[in-house]
Structure 1
């Protein structure tokens, strides 16, 4: 017993020693990563003093006395202080240099990124920028490097054992290329469409990728566009590719998915602008909430940046100079994704001339990897990455890879816009990704514009891969003046939710593409805003932005409730749904059952197209209405799944069985918030058990598939991994009564004071004051930067 006692005491001392070492490591990481936020620092490259006052939420309010370039320098400095590792990771993504620090597991992503050439495209964009923009970029770069030089390395650098290289001007453009991929193009739809045609024939396209409903709302009406006739409908000849080629193309989508860059139904955005005729103040109100992948740190960084001329506040992206979404002292703007078809896949003939380049990928702990990238006149060959040539050579043509991208000119121009004409002039420089810009100003004017390069195709619609033999070439881009736009609309309202922009009759290839989001969010926003035709306030707009009533449930309800239950658990679940109003709240049981059931229904095409295929809610509705072929499942014929009634019964049973296995046998205890939690996970360490607890952040959330406050459950976990990444509501009658909020916090370090202090507000539907007035900032810390 004495021996055991000595062993026990020894183990206790070992445990205590380990605990002390862990605590010491935590203290060391905190001390060495916490940036300085008060006092005075002397920095090279400034022309005059700048104050950086962080408010009680860590939002910097930058005041430069001498020049706007100094203000942009300070923005780069605070970005580097608070988000250095995020910036370096994003840069490495754009460069295809992840394996260099993460090891061989990141090689598929590096091959994808190098083949598409994101960083090369950024290099070609820098010379196209105007000289004023170049000066701002140079100032921002100098500020970032001054921040790096402070020596406060983020914990990720310590853990992975490297330090950031100096920032460059190209780095400040490169992230925009990744956003262009995340928000634009349809190469993935072309790959899926080819697969569909091969398995189901051309009629299958409308079943798996349903067209936008004819009676659903468009952003602009025929009257607003001045349309009188009908534009001819175009199509594409079916392209048949070997399975090996389709698998090679799919490898790109898989690599993008691993980076969180996939296009999924939960991504998208809402924005709208309300004219003064509809508001209580008589001045416009503008709202925006971009829906993107949620991560730790959060994508956005709130900032207030002011110099002698620059007076902008809103959401920035670390790595990019300027305010991306927000307002200045006269003008407000918001963005959602248009997602026109700006990508085409070309099947190159055997005699097509190709160029080659060799990319050297450094791999941590392993020899370098050589990657040969081939390009045709259309763009990179994306069908043989990492696998050698596998059949037909498929090239990608994409507006974001074309030279002369001046998108950064456009965003910096918006920061300075004083009126509608300035706003439009800035957007003429916009290239990609095409966005729905809503506008409002203090004089009461409102407007909308959808800028960007959108290809013109003659005689084909770009929905499927085409031969690269010269018969399917772009003949230019839609002229800027002919892109969809309106100013001071007669009804005082513009609503966008990634829904169809233009009705039939628009003369260019926008009306009949398949890329539009389902109309549910646009319908619900319009429904709520028009319930009160006059006297709308910021509080009214908050309620709309946070609405969680499911119109998908309204549409599917008659079919779901007519289901014949298979077993007692299915019967009890159906009874719970019968009285439900469709409001998806974290404290309710009904949304758990509904969303789990919908996720099962969305797999109805997997027997035809493979286990990765998921159809959207509109496709499910169409199948149930028509008792469609996708409801049939040859794999389950013995169980009677020959029609949609059988599919409904079987999918409900699968859903409730999964929920029972996870939450217990009583459906009354299946509270939504138990499974539906936001998963803001770290890009590198989110899946590493030993570190995930430190870097990941979670909380129960309201909302679901296609609710206005969108919160689509993940098919595997039912967690929310995409959603409103930022919210803003701008009151043009009193700009400092505007509000905004992010998903986590300003700090990128898990040891920072503001790493997640916005998450509870965001999840509860609360906001921060979007104010430039010191009385709204609470407790502050001020750091003075001096030359």
Structure 2
């Protein structure tokens, strides 16, 4: 890849600014005027507003979705092609040998095969809309404009296919669902520290932590099934754990990893709690912050389809948003829908050959084996390991890989839903990844549902790998009608922040005690929303943007009691003594706290002999209890750990920011890193494709912005924000993290970023008066 990339850059550099202008002109799509296109049933107007958001107006729903596919490809062609190549495991074909580990992971798991099996299960309306979307994408591709990435890498993308629309949803299911990585960690912890070590390294959800639904809303007294870990835990040798972790590293390279503090917030407020007397619904999904951004804002209106909000290029629907009557938001439930099975000797296995094309190199052929449970993912792990020497065969069972996935029906159905009944009918088709859906409508109703296939386990909790001998099998799925839900809750408020969904009185086990995010965000949101008797949209904005750290509130007395080991440590403690706990870019206290917390999160590395990063709750429990993990090499206690890690923190910050501690501020290190998936680490291109800026927020603040360990970069966060006012839907608000355009040379590539950082929003309006300066492109059927 490097030769072609550098050659292109040298050519552009030699030609000067004119070459960049040429690249921009030849990449920019047509956004005004008229164009005739085959596949349309009637005329469609596409009006882009002042921020590049398309407002699509058609007489036929299929034409509206055709136009969505058309503008998706116009603005995000590279992103769409990259996403489908990820699902297909075909990155090395265009990126070279460096992408081979990712392709091995993707082919072994079989994301594309799962997408192919899902397509025939969709209903007729979904199939019609997907076909229309595909036609729109290919109509845009035929116009001949090519994204800069295609020119730099020297290839032409293939035509879009219907299955490509389904395939990216499988990668989203991986990004948002399951606990495969937790099982790998738990198996390693159990091997090194015994079963008791799990509670130390990965703290259980607190008994007093908030749940999304109350015991009254669950409405049952029945006890939950046994929630302890399985009594039979096969021991996995280091070689097998290494093979499994190689897949994790491959996923991380693609930005698909489960991180502490990665999650989402959404809530819905009933009219009894609002100034207007009508509901307000808010959502901000926390996902990888990339260039281009994941989301694409759009307003899509046909005859019956009338939805506005956040779409994902490649998918023919508004994923989060509203129509003229109903609004919805989503956060990740994260029930346990994955299990690792250690297959016994002699277990029946099938196998297939996968041929991976590698740019500039010979093809690579891998063998993918499957058991009755699913793909054997301890194979093809990289690092020289393969199924002949990696030890026990570990297979993955996962709801998203099973045939008959109708999740696309659910998302398209939400776009059409006019009331709670239609909303829940759509969600009954939902499979994976399970999401917390909050609901509101113009009639004043509010609700919540957690749809998806959740396995029923009896007598075991899925927290560690289990034997594949038939003793630990799923007993069906939780029936849809019995999944957690509520309509018009008595207190007029539903808050979700990836926290525990239901109290222990719920009759099914959704996940083990370590499945849920720490309770800090849910507590803070509830604290803010219940502090004001009648809430306005402005109150909701302030809540969404809140940067006060409840984590600091818990840690404060423990950290301030630290014995300083130096004058600079005393100075740091004095600064923290006066800090208000707000994670602002200008704060010195925010920097000291997050940097110190990073050091404390490494306390289990000696015992585990790896790079494990504990979450803040696990660290807090150790400090409060004088836990065993505080010792270093078997020596010392928590007091000594605090003194030692504070000094280490200050040495680290001094090396990064210089000797003048007074000049240290959070924003100098904590910056959003919206990096390009292919060129983000290519030094010659990163300056053009990556986008960085100081940002507020931290670990488990409502405006979540967890600093990446070691780098302090914010690589995940509120990728999209929306606030829907059901008293006046066109006064609703939304914003993305970067911009509508995919090309870094385009005018709308980054024009939302500063607004997003500063806590501003765009009008989520279907009215032309709110769109500012516009450009209109009219699509006509061919022959007109």
CA pair 563-392 structure 1, distance change in 2 beyond 3 A: same
Q: Is the 8 A contact 2:351 2:368 kept in 1?
A: yes
> CA distance change for structure 1 residues 289 and 605 in 2, over 3 Å: closer, same or farther?
same
Q: Distance in 2 between matches of 1:517 and 1:16?
A: 47
3-state SS of the aligned residue for 2:41?
A: coil
Pick which of 242-251 and 663-672 moved more: 663-672
- 1:30 is the counterpart of 2:29: no
Match of 1:369 among 364, 385, 388: 364
SS in 2 for 1:120: helix
Contact preservation (8 Å) 2:12, 2:20? no
Q: Which residue in 1 is equivalent to 2:727?
A: 733
Q: With structure 1 as the length reference, what TM-score do the two structures score?
A: 0.96
- How far apart, in 1, do the equivalents of 2:748 and 2:103 lie? 32
In structure 2, the residue matched to 1:4 is none
Determine the structure 2 residue equivalent to 1:748. 742
Q: 2:329 aligns with which of 328, 331, 334?
A: 334
Give TM-score scaled by structure 2 length: 0.97
- 1:410 paired with 2:404, answer no
* Counterparts of 2:340 and 2:511, CA distance in 1: 21
Deviation at 1:55, TM superposition (A): 0.1
How far apart are the structure 1 equivalents of 2:740 and 2:12? 32
> Superposed, which structure 2 residues align to 1:333-482 within 5 Å?
333-385=328-380, 386=382, 387-389=385-387, 390-482=390-482
How far is 1:23 from its partner? 2.0
The answer to whether structure 1 residue 216 and structure 2 residue 214 are counterparts is no
- 1:95 matched to 2:97? The reply is no
679, 682, 695: which one pairs with 2:673?
679
Post-superposition Cα deviations, 1:279-307, rounded to whole Å, max 9, x if no partner, equal 00000000000000100000000000000
Q: Does 1:245 align with 2:240?
A: yes
Whether the 8 Å contact between 1:563 and 1:648 is mirrored in structure 2 is: yes
Deviation at 1:588, TM superposition (A): 1.2
**Deviations 1:111-167, CA, capped at 9 Å, x for gaps:** 000000000000000000001100000000000011111111000000000011000
**2: CA distance, partners of 1:759 / 1:44:** 36
Is the CA contact (8 Å cut-off) linking 2:466 and 2:472 kept in structure 1? yes
Q: Which residue of 1 aligns with 2:128?
A: 135
Secondary structure of the residue aligned to 1:170 is helix
SS of the counterpart of 2:243?
helix
Shift of 1:511: 6.1
Structure 2 counterpart of 1:529: 529
Matched, 1:616 2:610: no
Aligned to 2:16, the other structure's residue is in SS state: helix
Residues 511 and 93 of structure 1: is their aligned pair in 2 closer, same or farther, counting only changes over 3 Å?
closer
Whether contact under 8 Å (2:42, 2:780) holds in the other structure is yes
SS at match of 1:723: strand
| Cα deviation digits, residues 455-509 of structure 1 (max 9, x gap) | 0011111111111111111110000001000000000000000000001121111
Which secondary structure state, in structure 1, belongs to the residue aligned with residue 318 of structure 2?
coil
How far 1:559 sits from its partner (Å)?
A: 0.5
Distance 2:500 2:28 in 1: 46
> Secondary structure at 1:438's aligned position in 2?
strand
Say which SS state the counterpart of residue 324 (structure 1) adopts: strand
Within a 5 Å distance, the mapping from 1:613-692 to structure 2 comes to: 613-634=612-633, 642-692=636-686
Which residue does 1:199 correspond to in 2?
192
Partner of 1:566: 565
How far off its partner does 1:666 sit? 1.9
**CA RMSD, aligned part only?**
1.2
- Whether the 8 Å contact between 2:225 and 2:508 is mirrored in structure 1 is no
Deviation at 1:568, TM superposition (A): 1.7
Query: Is contact 1:64-1:71 (8 Å) kept?
Result: yes
How far apart in 2 are the matches of 1:296 and 1:213? 37
Q: Does the aligned pair in 1 maintain the 2:221–2:506 contact within 8 Å?
A: no
Per the alignment, residue 6 of structure 2 pairs with none
Correspondence for 1:11: none
Equivalent residue for 1:84, pick from 77, 85, 98: 77
SS in 2 for 1:111: helix
CA contact (8 A) 2:283 2:330 kept: yes
Give the distance between the partners of 1:611 and 1:240, measured in 2 at CA.
Answer: 18
User: How much has 1:324 moved relative to structure 2?
Assistant: 0.1
CA distance in 2, matches of 1:606, 1:32: 52
Match of 1:576 in 2: 575
Provide the C-alpha distance between the structure 1 equivalents of 2:157 and 2:727, rounded to a whole number of angstroms.
44
Cα distance between partner residues in 2 of 1:575 and 1:717: 25
**Cα deviations across residues 722-741 of structure 1 (Å, max 9, x unaligned)?**
00000000000000000000
Q: Which residue of 1 aligns with 2:173?
A: 180
Q: What is the deviation of 1:570?
A: 1.4
Distance 2:739 2:141 in 1: 20
1:20 Cα deviation after fit: 5.3
Per-residue CA distance 1:296-339 (angstroms, 9 max, x = gap): 00000000000011110000000011100000000000000000
1:116 to 89, 98, 109: 109
Post-superposition offset of 1:25: 2.3
In the alignment, structure 1 segments of 5+ residues that lack a partner are 1-14
| Residue 16 (structure 1) shift | 13
Match of 2:710 in 1: 716
Unaligned runs of 5+ in 2: 1-8
How has the CA–CA distance of structure 1 residues 18 and 75 changed in structure 2, closer, same or farther, with 3 Å as cutoff? closer
- Alpha-carbon distance in structure 1 between the residues aligned to 2:513 and 2:251: 23
**What is the CA deviation profile of residues 527-582 of structure 1, one whole-angstrom value per residue up to 9, with x for unaligned ones?**
0000012x210000000000000000000001000001111221111110001110
What does the per-residue CA deviation read over 1:151-189, in whole Å, with 9 as the maximum and x for residues that have no partner? 110000000000110000000000000000000001111
Greater mean alpha carbon deviation, residues 380-389 or residues 268-277? 380-389
Q: What corresponds to 2:769 in structure 1? A: 775
Q: Deviations over 1:75-95 (max 9, x none)?
A: 000000000000000000000
1:70 equivalent among 63, 72, 75: 63
Q: Secondary structure at the match of 1:251?
A: helix
Q: Distance in 1 between matches of 2:64 and 2:510?
A: 40
Contact 2:272 2:492 in 1 (8 A): yes
Q: What are the superposed Cα offsets for residues 30-82 of structure 1, whole Å, 9 maximum, x if unpaired?
A: 011001000000001000000000000000000012x1000000000000000
SS of the residue corresponding to residue 507 of structure 1 reads coil
Written as runs of structure 1 = structure 2, the 5 A alignment for 1:224-263 is: 224-234=217-227, 235-237=229-231, 238-263=233-258
- Is the contact made by 1:61 and 1:303 (CA closer than 8 Å) also made in structure 2? yes
Mapped contact 2:79–2:742 kept (Cα < 8 A): yes
Task: Give the deviation of 1:698 after TM superposition.
Answer: 1.1
Question: Deviation digits for residues 749-771 of structure 1, max 9, x if unmatched?
Answer: 01111000000000000000000
2:5 — aligned with what? Answer: none
Could you tell me whether the CA contact under 8 Å between 1:502 and 1:511 is conserved in 2? no
User: Which SS does the other structure have where 2:132 is aligned?
Assistant: helix
Query: How far has the Cα of 1:699 moved from its partner?
Result: 1.2
1:8 is matched with none
Q: Does structure 1 conserve the Cα–Cα contact (< 8 Å) formed by 2:49 and 2:774?
A: yes
Match of 1:3 in 2: none
Alpha-carbon distance in 1 for matches of 2:587, 2:237: 48
Q: What residue in structure 2 maps to residue 505 of structure 1?
A: 505
Aligned 8 A contact 1:505 1:511 in 2: no
Where 1:227 maps in the other structure, the secondary structure is coil
Hey, what does 1:302 align to over in structure 2? 297
Deviation at 1:717, TM superposition (A): 1.1
CA distance in 2, matches of 1:608, 1:248: 21
> Shift of residue 24 of structure 1?
2.9
CA distance in 1, matches of 2:91, 2:10: 37
